[in-house]
Amino acid sequence: MHSKLDRRKKYTRMVLKESLMKLLKEKSISTVTVKEICTLADINRSTFYSHYMDQFDLLNQIEEEIIADMNETLTSYNYNQDDQTLQMTEKIVEYVAENSDVCTTLFSEHGDSGFKKRVMMVASDHTVKNWLSAYPIDSEISEYVSIFTISGSIHILENWLKNGMDKTPKEIAELINNLTNKGLSYLQ
């Protein structure tokens, strides 16, 4: 009986998340209503409120799951070696590819603008600090280097998603790593 409830709960949450993602493709979170989510999910509002406080709470839960997955992926790698850094970057790109629908929506103008900043902080905490330790940089400019590297990487991922993932995750990971490690000089 307990597993039946767990399956029902998982199904309900999955349908609500999918419904919110569909709505966010068309409009911003501030204009989405709980009623719209429930209608699309074919779930009554009392069921929705037994799981989430409102549409913002639902969006936050989706974002938290992605951040937790990214943290788990990033903590499993040793970034001090170039090949490990490339493997870690490739894992993140593969994760984005596997979750392309959600990532495209969350990175869009209809998603939560704070989400992109949170992704940047996670990536910075795990990767840039290790890249910076490999390349001694004055602490006064390390924050600028970190922002430049992470925001550039996120924009590459956004563009890749918009282009229908026209390159493999490995190619995108190599591009990000090469630009991070060598800058534009790698193109020559």
How many angstroms separate the Cα of 82 from the Cα of each of 75, 86, 96, 134, 181? Answer: 16, 6, 21, 10, 9
Confidence check: pLDDT of 187 > 70: no
Q: Convert the pLDDT of each residue in 120-165 to its tens digit.
A: 777 777 666 666 666 666 767 777 877 888 888 888 999 999 999 9
Query: What is the structure's pLDDT at 171?
Result: 95
Q: What is the domain count for the chain?
A: 2
Question: Residue 84 has which token pair?
Answer: 């490990």
State whether 114 and 24 are in the same domain: no
Rounded to 5 degrees, φ, ψ at 14 are: -60, -45
State whether 164 and 144 are in the same domain: yes
Q: Is residue 188 part of a domain?
A: no
Query: What is the structure's pLDDT at 188?
Result: 60
pLDDT band at 180 (very low <50, low <70, confident <90, very high): confident
State whether 71 and 162 are in the same domain: yes
Q: Convert the pLDDT of each residue in 67-103 to its tens digit.
A: 998 888 777 766 555 567 778 788 888 888 998 888 8
State whether 67 and 39 are in the same domain: no
State whether 47 and 63 are in the same domain: no
Mean pLDDT within 23-42: 94
State whether 80 and 104 are in the same domain: yes
State whether 35 and 80 are in the same domain: no
State whether 112 and 157 are in the same domain: yes
- With vertex at residue 17, the alpha carbon angle to CA 13 and CA 23, rounded to the nearest 5 degrees, is 145
State whether 45 and 68 are in the same domain: no
CA atoms within 13 A on the CB side of 96: 30
Q: Convert the pLDDT of each residue in 51-77 to its tens digit.
A: 999 999 999 999 999 899 888 877 776
Q: Is residue 66 part of a domain?
A: yes
State whether 6 and 34 are in the same domain: yes
Confidence check: pLDDT of 2 > 60: no
Mean pLDDT within 17-32: 93
Confidence check: pLDDT of 170 > 80: yes
End-to-end CA distance of the chain: 64
Can you give the residue range of the structural domain that contains 66? 59-183
State whether 17 and 95 are in the same domain: no
Percent of the chain with pLDDT over 90: 38
State whether 146 and 67 are in the same domain: yes
